[in-house]
Structure 1
Amino acid sequence: MDNHHYAHYIDIFKTRHDIIDFLMETFIMFKDLIGKAVYPKDWMVMNMVQNRVFLRAITQFSVVLTKRFLDPANFELQLWNNYFHLGVAFLVQDPLQLETFSVEKRQKIVDKYGDMRKTIGFQVRDMWYNLGPHKIKFIPGMVGPILEMTLVPEPELRRATIPIFFDMMQCEYSVNYSFHMFENELITKLDQEVEGGRGDEQYKVILERILLEHCRQHRYLATSGEAFVLLVSSLLENLLDYRTIMHDESKENQMCCTVNVLTFYKEKKREDIYIR
Structure 2
Amino acid sequence: MLQSSNQIAPIDDGQSLSLEHVDVRFAGLVAVDDVTLKLRPRSVTGLIGPNGAGKTTAVNVMTGFQRPTGGRILLGGLDLTGHPPEEFARRGIMRTFQSGRLFAKLSVIDNVAAAAVGVRGLSRARARDHAYDILEWMDCAHVCCATAEALPHGLQQRVGLARALAGFPTFLLLDEPASGLGRVDCDALISLIQNIPSRFQCGVLLIEHNMSVIMKACSSILVFASGRQIAEGTPAEISASVQVRQAYLGAAADEPISI
Q: TM-score, normalised by structure 1?
A: 0.29
TM-score (norm. length: structure 2) = 0.30
Q: Which structure has the larger Rg?
A: 1
Larger RCO of the pair (alpha carbons < 8 Å, separation 6+): 2
**Higher fraction of helix:** 1
Higher strand residue share: 2
